[in-house]
Chains A and B, each alone.
Chain A
Amino acid sequence: MAYVAVKGGEQAILNSHKLIAEERRGDPTVPELSLEQIGDQFGLAIDRVMNEGSIYDRRLAALALKQARGDSAEAIFLLRAYRTTLPRIAVSEPIDTTQMTVRRRVSATFKDIPGGQLLGPTYDYTHRLLDFSLAEGGSKECLETPNTELPIDSDLSRVLDILDDENLVEQAVSHHGGKEPFDLTRSPKRLPAGRDQRLQNLARADEGFIVGLAYSIARGYSGSSHPYVAEIRLGELDVEIIPEDLGFPIAIAEVTVTECQMISLFHGSASTPAHFTRGYGLTFGHCERKAISMALVDRALRAREFDEEVRYPAQDEEFVLSHSDGVEATGLISHYKLPHYVDFQADLQLIRKMRAQTAGKQSPSDDR
């Protein structure tokens, strides 16, 4: 990178740090936010920071958001930087999303699903009108969700596992047996990428970028047809590890995840009959927009697998994997703000030289 370090400005930088601390705190007569308040009341902001920061830790995410004055990109950067200071203790057993304590589960394809459709906490059916009662020191009464007499099944199977009698939907089966999945935190991106690498990249990817790509897919910038949400589920899961010093599995953590199974019509190829193909989205916390988009992009990136022509950005894994990481993107974009005096001087000289050359060529034919 053509960037030359500069010296000086220490006092100005220190004062800038003081100023940012002052602005972060805001009016000192207004009570300071606690991490608990941020964690409880800005839960979806926390979820986004955990996903893209790629660390499930609500308290750290709340701290990062507080320090970043609510800027999710800055908070994500802080978490990623902190991450590099920590050792890897273990790798979990793959989570089993059928074991989830489900709080929300909907299907846009199957109306009657065993276990039922559970709306859970969703904005989907709200009127999106500003609630001015919240402006006046909170909701008037704390609304209690009624506990229902009807329990939900403790084992809610995946919709696609139970409603595909005719085998019209692609199965999600293991192809590679015991092969270690690719780990982007350990190795640089490698192309062509397996689906494991792509999904890890998408799970950490900037939500805006992934939603934009998914939108491009939906508007026709991909080969596939209208996609459907076969199932979205939200809930809590145990994470199991087998600590090397113990040798038996223990549930080390509980995480909230959102899982999205998308299906889309595939017209078939020489070797495969027409069927529904799948895209998969998985996020920490409650991030449906990201999960749906991830599933759409996952499917689009499988173009080669289905002998589809790679024509559009969302199908191009080099394009997607290279530009999806918000921290990398922010880093390069932000560096333009830093002093580039020497580079600029070089370009300035170059332009003067080019002009002088052009002027030199023109002058003989100039009659004046």
Chain B
Amino acid sequence: MGPITSLWSSSLLHDLRHRSSGAQVSVITRMQETIESEAPASPSQEFGRPDWLGVLAKSAAADLNRLASTLVRHLSWTWLRSPETGLVMVRGRIGGSGDPFNFGETTVTRCALRLADGAVGYGYVQGTDGQHARLAALVDASLQRDDENRVPLLEVIERLRETQARLRRERRAKAASTKVEFFTLIRGENLE
């Protein structure tokens, strides 16, 4: 795991605890996905519902389960829509930047549920795992409430995001080690 705790200065946590809930809460830092920025960046960027839904969607089911299941276990809730696996048609663009075309599909599982106090959570995850979607929906619903669960759940989101960012950083760093300079050889160049 990356330096998660360092992202959470005590004043920031304090600030968070006293913030009102809502879809767009300005929270914590967004890690720059560059190799050099291991240190936390400035805590100025928005960290809203689209962000956490995206992080949850791309999380590994096992990671989310390990980090979040105990935090939402006590909740009572009812299904609005039980988990359903379906397809998302992924579109590309002709030539990379022209008109769109239908490229191929990917599996997605979605569900929706309502907590006892009325908060509605949506679970959208990549793949076919209904439990993964249920957990994502519970986290989404909880994050919209302003209670003691919110801060630890935001921490979970940050840790998942850091895991995803770290993977990308590592891929980039390894790719960088294969950077080449090709030289064009000119005949007769070495005759002197």
Main SS of chain B's interface residues?
mixed
**B142 is an interface residue with CB less than 8 A from chain A:** no
Please determine whether B102 and A185 come into contact, CB atoms closer than 8 angstroms.
yes
A-B contact count (CB 8 A): 238
Cα A94 to Cα B100 in complex, Å, equals: 6
Q: Classify chain B: how many residues form its interface, as a range.
A: 35 or more
Please determine whether A116 and B179 come into contact, CB atoms closer than 8 angstroms.
yes
Please determine whether B96 and A97 come into contact, CB atoms closer than 8 angstroms.
yes
Tell me which residues across on chain B come within 8 A of A92, comparing CB atoms.
88-91
Q: Which residue of B lies closest to A98 (CB)?
A: B96
Please determine whether A261 and B178 come into contact, CB atoms closer than 8 angstroms.
no
Q: Which residue of A lies closest to B53 (CB)?
A: A250
**A343 is an interface residue with CB less than 8 A from chain B:** no
Tell me which residues across on chain B come within 8 A of A146, comparing CB atoms.
177
**A93 is an interface residue with CB less than 8 A from chain B:** yes
Please determine whether A150 and B94 come into contact, CB atoms closer than 8 angstroms.
no
Question: Which among B91, B95, B106, B110 has the greatest number of chain A C-beta atoms within 10 A?
Answer: B95
Cα A111 to Cα B95 in complex, Å, equals: 21
A195-B58 CB under 8 A given contacts A252-B126, A261-B95:
no
| A22-30, A49-57, A209-217, A268-276 - interface stretch | A49-57
Q: Which residues of A contact B (CB under 8 A)?
A: 50-51, 54-57, 59-60, 83, 86-98, 101-104, 111, 116-120, 145-148, 150-152, 154, 158, 161, 172-176, 179, 181-185, 195-197, 199-200, 203-204, 235-236, 238-239, 241, 243, 245-246, 248-255, 259, 261, 278, 280, 282, 284
Q: List 25 A-B contacts (CB under 8 A).
A: A56-B104, A57-B127, A60-B107, A86-B87, A88-B86, A91-B91, A92-B90, A97-B92, A151-B173, A154-B172, A172-B97, A174-B93, A181-B91, A196-B94, A196-B102, A239-B106, A243-B110, A250-B50, A250-B53, A251-B57, A253-B58, A253-B88, A254-B126, A255-B90, A280-B94
Q: Which residues of B contact A (CB under 8 A)?
A: 33-36, 49-50, 53-54, 57-58, 84-108, 110, 112, 122, 124, 126-128, 164, 168, 170-182, 184
